[in-house]
Structure 1
Amino acid sequence: MRRVSLAVILLVVSAGCITGTPALDDEASNGTTAGPTAVPSEESPVDGVRVTVTEVVDGDTMHVAYANGSRETVRLLGVDTPETFSENDPSDFEGVPETEAGVACLGRAGEAASAYAVDRLEGESITLVFDEESDRRGYYGRLLAYVYVDGASFNHDLLREGHARVYPSTFTERERYERTEAEAREARRGLWSCIDDTSAAMTDSPATTDSPATETAMADGGGPLVVSEIHEDAAGNDNENLNDEYLVFRNVADRELDLSGWTVVDAADHEYTFPEGTTLAPDAELTVRTGSGTDTDSTVFWGADRAIWNNDGDVVVVRDASGSTVVRRSY
């Protein structure tokens, strides 16, 4: 009788192990979307699914890879940054005037949000945390998640820096997010500067505006350098007419820019570095041609042996000598 009882106990224990929740590491390695649904506090350790960001699509969307190589697209839960691939509707952003200037300002804000996301996330190992009050996937099949990088909530940081609004949906963090958005809007940080001055610069929060990186960051969202023209489709065969494929940059600051060591990169990581001593006067333009030639004050040459810029769309990224993103322009 004693042997029978012992067998029953062992059977019950074994059954409990079989039906228990799989370990998180197993889920992550299999590329599944299962995982924790509890939202960690700012003080608690982050427990979630570890992935690597392979590409930032825009301020609130990214492609990620699991350890086994499987891939997903993640949409940040609860936040919405201005669009970069389509026109924005100012009525979605409380207080922003529904004018052409308001639309243009939000476009610059979207580029600034994308540049911020690239700086914080691209190539980084992050943690995805899911919310039991929200759907696991959105309308387009993308994962909906809180993203934590170095223990900090990136979703919340976007709101605090004024790069996003709260997205109207159901999720656990909504009340806290709405308070943070209201604070950023009151301070006119980031996109919320569009409320009062639709030509105003998109800048980081006051806590970071004094840093050299911020001074030269977020152009096309209010920084000193903008892309004034992209001529990606050269006459005839692009590869046979490389110098008719070019970018034009303009200095919109009131001071000379020293571009020494700055880089221009496309989506495929082709890279050009501005030579030492390259400067750009206020309101002056500089053309970067894909082919070869002799550099002048107004034109420099990439020296590539084939076309760089895709005719059906690409991304122009400029980084300063310290590696901070200065311009991110999609077309």
Structure 2
Amino acid sequence: MRKRLIGFALVFAATMGGSLTLAGPAQAATPAIQITKVYYNSPGTDNRSNSSLNAEYVKLTNRRSSAINLKYWTLRDKASHVYRFSGDFRLASGASVYIHTGKGTNTSTHRYWGSGAYIWNNTGDAAYLRNSAGTLIDSCSWGSSGSYTNC
């Protein structure tokens, strides 16, 4: 009886244009937007100059085949310092954008938090990227060694 059921299932699958496969381990989906680098320890002395603040940044990369609108998406650290993308901001397929801690003029590849203080802790921290609905899209954490991390 069991051989008959297996044979029936194989014929049915072939007739329907499908196949029978064994379930394998689940694969994690690649996030649409990934945190690809965090430069958390600005080079030189931490003197809070705008150039020093802007040497601290997070790089986001669009891994999808189409542009993604980041309107109202947020980037935050463990202490809940929050950067919010305001207005329409479309990140092209394969493109990256850098979110700098200090002040500057926003462009399609560089955005500015506008902070007068460092955001990312040199002794260890984490970056969290959430979409406009508040769903966690990606995160990246690091310890106390080095100046940057590739995520």
Q: Scaled by the length of structure 1, what TM-score is found?
A: 0.34
Percent identity between the two aligned chains: 29
* Residue type at the aligned position of 1:315: A
* Matched AA of 2:105: T
Aligned match for 1:301, one of 112, 124, 129: 112
For 1:231, the equivalent position in structure 2 comes to 39
Q: Is 1:269 the equivalent of 2:80? A: yes
- 2:66 maps to what in 1? 255
For 2:134 and 2:58, the matched residues in 1 are separated by 20
User: For residues 129 and 37 of structure 2, what CA distance do their matches in structure 1 show?
Assistant: 14
More strand by share: 2
How far did residue 188 of structure 1 move? 3.0
In structure 2, give the amino acid aligned to 1:329. C
- C-alpha displacement at 1:287, in angstroms? 0.4
State the distance in 1 between where 2:123 and 2:93 align: 32
Partner of 2:23: 186
Specify every segment of 5 or more residues in structure 1 that has no aligned partner in the other structure, as ranges: 1-184, 194-201, 204-221
C-alpha distance in structure 2 between counterparts of 1:310 and 1:317, whole Å: 14
Residue pair 2:35, 2:129 contacting (<8 A) in 1 also: no
Aligned alpha-carbon RMSD (Å) = 1.5
> Deviation above 6 Å: which 4+ runs of structure 1?
none
Tell me how far apart the structure 1 counterparts of residues 45 and 117 of structure 2 sit (CA, whole Å): 10
> What is the number of residues matched between the two proteins?
118
Amino acid at match of 1:228: T
The whole-number CA distance in structure 1 between the counterparts of 2:24 and 2:125 is: 34
Partner of 1:245: 56
Q: Output one character per residue of 1:116-163: Cα deviation in whole Å (capped at 9) or x when no partner.
A: xxxxxxxxxxxxxxxxxxxxxxxxxxxxxxxxxxxxxxxxxxxxxxxx
Aligned counterparts of 2:58 and 2:44: Cα–Cα separation in 1 = 18
Matched, 1:318 2:129: yes
1: CA distance, partners of 2:94 / 2:72: 21
Q: Secondary structure at 1:186's aligned position in 2?
A: coil
Amino acid in the other structure paired with 2:106: D
CA radius of gyration, larger in: 1
Q: Which amino acid aligns with 2:109?
A: S
Q: Is the 8 A contact 2:69 2:88 kept in 1?
A: yes
**What is the deviation of 1:187?**
4.8
For residues 78-101 of structure 1, the C-alpha deviation after alignment (integer angstroms, 9 at most, x for no partner) is: xxxxxxxxxxxxxxxxxxxxxxxx
Using the alignment, how far apart are the partners of 1:289 and 1:321 within structure 2? 20
Distance 1:228 1:327 in 2: 10
CA–CA separation in structure 2 for the residues paired with 1:259 and 1:310: 25
* CA–CA distance in structure 2, aligned partners of residues 276 and 265 of structure 1: 18
- Which one has a larger percent helix, Structure 1 or Structure 2? 1
Secondary structure of 2:23 counterpart: helix
Matches within 5 A, 1:34-113: none
